Amino acid sequence: MSLDWITPADRLSALPPYVFARLDELKARAREQGLDLIDLGMGNPDGPTPQPVVDAAIAALQNPANHGYPPFEGTASFRRAITDWYGRRYGVELDPDGEALPLLGSKEGLTHLAIAYVNPGDLVLVPSPSYPAHFRGPLIAGGRIHSIILKPEQDWLIDLGSIPDSVAEQAKILYFNYPSNPTAATAPREFFQDIVKFARKHEILLVHDLCYAELAFDGFHPTSLLEIPGAKEIGVEFHTLSKTYNMAGWRVGFVVGNRHVIQGLRTLKTNLDYGIFAALQSAAETALQLPDVYLHEVQARYRTRRDFLIDGLAKLGWTVPKTRATMYLWVPCPPGVGSTDFALSVLQQTGVVVTPGNAFGAGGEGYVRVSLIAECDRLQDALQRFHQANIRYQPEAVIS
Ligand SMILES: Cc1ncc(COP(=O)(O)O)c(C=O)c1O
């Protein structure tokens, strides 16, 4: 029997196609054709989870006390580990009972926050380019998006002055993310002070995504929104264990900040899920308590790859600024070539997967994102293939 009488809800058809899913299809096709893919497309860390975390998970699995439904709001000891970590990292004091909530990965929480707070027609400010959940969550909720186009000449920072007062007055939420996926841009503390002032003036909820809190190099320390006085009154901040601790498959993240906002998200989630398997929360606690040597290892891995790839791309004509954080390079397409066309031609000609910048919104057009998720010998193979296929950054055509 045909099911053509049942159609998905309008909220699904309002969504633009998820480019990563489309990339997956293309990758599968390329593999079928026998191409040896070098996949630098996703932000999926390639290292193993630290052994003490795996050991803690195994021990917690053996404990029948962990086998039932976990508490809705997360285990008390994981929440305490989160607020202790926050105190150590940022000197910010948080109440583990109301100002911290474990999540099934931060993507889940970022999206559900919009379901909990955005009514159909509400205006949400979202930079473009940005991590897709920042605009897809509000779209699923029926919100209207005002895209703040980011520009290289402003170091990909949000220009708060460019947001008309009439827009700011209507806006309910502003999502933002520094260090940034996809641009790898970082924001100085003064920027955070300005955005808190802006949000307080216009009564906008700030949602900061500090996914790359620890993936920073060369002595740079990303700022937490909650370090800024007054931020907790108008903001929340999302974190993940996926990147820092190579735990993307475990699905563990958390949100901290304003207790009323966290309570709203918790109420929604109480109706949707039962939270994270308690054994994994126990292992996640171990991750947050690891000595800094683990962090230094993971930082060194990405820093080495960053330097290697930036040098190699320079030999092919690209000038890519040295990033101070994240696991990405944000690489301009050759002039006149669109980001989807460029990513597809790189995939077809070389088997190297990069993500077209427009997957992150219209503001990402003209760029591709390259993830530093392969060892230098594989990155060398990728560069060699670019060289052989004559994929290089050609400056403007010379007019004779
Ligand atoms: C900026 C940003 N936020 C959130 C996420 C999702 O992280 P999680 O694995 O915690 O869902 C990602 C993943 O790439 C990201 O880049």
The atom number, within ligand 1, closest to the CA of 240 reads 10
Return the pLDDT at 213.
Answer: 96
The atom number, within ligand 1, closest to the CA of 103 reads 10
Return the pLDDT at 245.
Answer: 96
324-377 pLDDT tens trace: 999 999 999 999 999 999 999 999 899 999 999 999 999 999 999 999 999 999
Return the pLDDT at 29.
Answer: 85
Q: Hey, which of 82, 212, 240 would you mutate to test ligand 1's pocket, going by the most ligand atoms within 8 Å of its Cβ?
A: 240
Q: Note whether 178 and 184 are within 8 A (CB).
A: no
C-alpha 313/C-alpha 285 separation (Å) is 39
Distance, CA 179 to ligand 1 centroid (Å)? 12
Tell me which residue has tokens 């209207």.
Answer: 144
Distance, CA 6 to ligand 1 centroid (Å)? 33
The atom number, within ligand 1, closest to the CA of 42 reads 14
pTM of the model: 0.95
Return the pLDDT at 397.
Answer: 45
Distance, CA 135 to ligand 1 centroid (Å)? 13
Q: Which of 209, 346, 287, 344 is nearest to 50 (CA)?
A: 287
Residue nearest to atom 16 of ligand 1 (CA): 181
Distance, CA 240 to ligand 1 centroid (Å)? 7
Domain boundaries, the chain: 10-48+293-388, 51-288
Length of the chain: 400
Q: Which of 329, 307, 383 is nearest to 43 (CA)?
A: 329
For the chain, the C-alpha Rg in angstroms (whole number) is 21
Residue nearest to atom 2 of ligand 1 (CA): 211
Distance, CA 177 to ligand 1 centroid (Å)? 10
15: helix, strand or coil = coil
Ligand 1 pocket, CB under 6 A: 43, 105-107, 131, 177, 181, 209, 211, 240, 242, 248, 253
Return the pLDDT at 30.
Answer: 83
Tell me which residue has tokens 């700030």.
Answer: 206
Return the pLDDT at 396.
Answer: 62
Q: Note whether 331 and 367 are within 8 A (CB).
A: yes
178-200 per-residue burial string, b: 16 or more CB within 10 A, e: under 16: bbbbbbbbbbeeebbbbbbebbe
Residue 220 has phi, psi (to 5 degrees) of -80, 135
pLDDT along the chain (400 residues), means of 10: 83 79 81 90 93 98 97 96 97 97 98 98 98 96 97 97 97 98 98 98 98 96 98 98 97 98 97 96 98 95 98 96 97 94 92 95 97 97 96 65
Q: Is the four-CA dihedral 212, 228, 259, 60 of positive or negative sign?
A: positive
Alpha helices in 91-147 (DSSP H): 106-117, 133-140
- CATH code matching the domain that covers 51-288, chosen among 3.40.190.10, 3.90.1140.10, 3.40.640.10, 3.90.1170.40: 3.40.640.10
Residues 6+ apart with CB under 8 A from 49: 245, 246, 247, 250, 287
Other beta carbons within 10 angstroms of residue 166's beta carbon come to: 7
**In a 10 Å sphere around its CB, with 0-12 CB exposed, 13-18 middle and 19+ buried, how is residue 114 labelled?**
buried
Tell me which residue has tokens 């052994």.
Answer: 51
Q: Assign a CATH topology to domain 10-48+293-388.
A: Aspartate Aminotransferase, domain 1 (3.90.1150)
C-alpha 104/C-alpha 97 separation (Å) is 18
Return the pLDDT at 206.
Answer: 98
Return the pLDDT at 207.
Answer: 98
